[in-house]
Amino acid sequence: MRHLLTCKGKDFYRLGAYGGRIYRYKRRKNVKKAISYLVKYGIPLVIGVGLMWFLYKNVDVHSMMDTLKNDVNYWWFAGVAVVSILSHVFRALRWRLQLKAIDVKPSFSAVLNSIFGTYAVNLVFPRLGEVWRCGYIANRQKASVTQVMGSMVADRLTDTVTVLLLTLVTFLLAQGAFGQFFDAYPQMKENFMNIASDARIWFGTAVVIIALGWLLVMKTENKFIKKLQLMARNLWEGFAGIARMEGKWWFLLLTLLIWGCYFLQLYLACKAFTFTSGLSVLAVLVVFVLSSIGMGIPTNGGLGAWHVATIFGLSLYGVGTFSPSNFDPQASAFAMFVWGFQQVLVIALGIYAFISMTIDRRRIESGKTVVETTNDEIKL
């Protein structure tokens, strides 16, 4: 205060200018943060809502509601719910194996809650759920966030490989159905082949991979690059944990059980509708693979993308026709209800998870639950 009283005019001017620079810096930072959030979460939401509008704008809503009223046996969805929960249980068991391989040993209930919570968070903020579950487990166990994230990356990469293998096998088994579709829509086949055979795409992909590899192994004193290299090493440590973890066969079995549950959910859902109850296992497998690919599009819980992929898959086997200008009301009703049921279940399991985590936190704070951590101090 005394310093301010003794300031001269020029000093006040400099002080004001300095304060103005700080204000402008903070303002730019807040604007950048807002834009970042908009890109991460606003664009996926817009994509999802746009796809839903495109999908249902020309659908006969009355026919769709009649389908849901008269052509569905809702008791089948009790089985869908049980199998869905089992898939989360198997995923939690698999991730726990990976975490133990990097000496992170959370309780099964903590891992299961993180899985339930992941899907609930993803429903609101696409892909953020994966980061959230890593932060939750790392924070609870006082472990390296990047190592835990590495195990999550390995977990999701395993799923990606599984989808690719399923896609390859399914396309080979269902060549006839896809051939009929491409014969009906030759322009789509031509566009697909043009993309797949474009040398620029393959060359660009190779350049990016080589550049990233060089960046991660180069010797440098740049702090930012060194930080990236350290993060990459920790991520690799988490991924490499699969190779040295105990119970590799359990890991493989749990992977089969997870994806078996995913398929069984859709199979049971098909049994619930009169117009899909007669579909063969191969037909349901084709719809399942296409819908799994649709889930890869970053929208809220597969909003829109899952619906389009499912309706397309059903059209291959005579459930309506795939027409962008007029989607079939029966196939649209199927996609809408099955997706909606899954989201309601995700929300219910998410609520349970967050209540359970709150109770777990209080038990840790009161000393009733002891957490095995990699350090002496528990950080919540």
Q: What is the pLDDT along the chain (380 residues), one digit of tens a residue?
A: 555 455 555 554 555 555 555 655 556 656 555 555 454 545 555 554 555 555 556 666 777 788 888 999 999 999 999 999 999 999 999 999 989 888 888 999 999 999 999 998 888 777 788 889 999 999 888 888 888 888 888 888 888 888 889 988 888 888 877 777 667 666 666 766 776 677 787 888 788 778 777 776 777 777 777 777 776 766 666 566 666 677 788 999 999 999 999 999 999 999 999 999 999 999 999 999 888 887 777 666 666 778 888 888 888 888 877 666 667 788 888 988 998 899 899 999 999 999 999 999 898 888 777 676 654 333 33
H helices of 57-107, in order, are 61-70, 76-101
Q: Name the residue ranges covered by the structural domains of the chain.
A: 12-180+235-366
Structural element, H or E, at residue 251: helix 248-272
Residues 207, 204: Cα–Cα separation, whole Å: 5
Predicted TM-score (pTM) of this structure: 0.76
Q: Can you give the pLDDT at residue 28?
A: 63
Q: Which amino acid is at 374?
A: T
Instruction: Estimate the crossing angle of helix 329-366 against helix 248-272, to 10 degrees.
Output: 140
The position carrying tokens 């994509």 is: 47
Distances (CA, A) of 60 to 113, 310, 315: 40, 18, 17
Spatial CB neighbours of 237, under 8 Å, sequence gap ≥ 6: 102, 147, 150
β-bridge partners, 72: 273
Residue among 66, 68, 110, 65 nearest 92 (CA)? 110
Q: Can you give the pLDDT at residue 261?
A: 96
Q: Can you give the pLDDT at residue 52?
A: 53
In eight-state DSSP terms, residue 377 is: S
Q: Can you give the pLDDT at residue 202?
A: 81
Distances (CA, A) of 249 to 100, 238, 246, 290, 346: 15, 18, 9, 28, 29
Q: Can you give the pLDDT at residue 72?
A: 92
Q: What distance, in Å, lies between the first and last C-alpha atoms of the chain?
A: 40
Residues 111, 161: Cα–Cα separation, whole Å: 23
Residues 143, 230: Cα–Cα separation, whole Å: 15
* 3-state SS, residue 273: strand
The string over 193-232, giving b where at least 16 C-beta atoms fall within 10 Å of a residue's C-beta and e elsewhere, is: eeeeeeeeeeeeeeeeeeeeeeeeeeeeeeeeeeeebeeb
Residues 289, 159: Cα–Cα separation, whole Å: 12
Q: Which amino acid is at 75?
A: W
CB atoms within 10 A of CB 233: 14
Residue among 110, 149, 171, 181 nearest 380 (CA)? 110
The string of DSSP codes covering 122-191 is: HHHSTTHHHHHHHHHHHHHHT--HHHHHHHHHHHHHHHHHHHHHHHHHHHHHTHHHHHHHHHH-HHHHHH
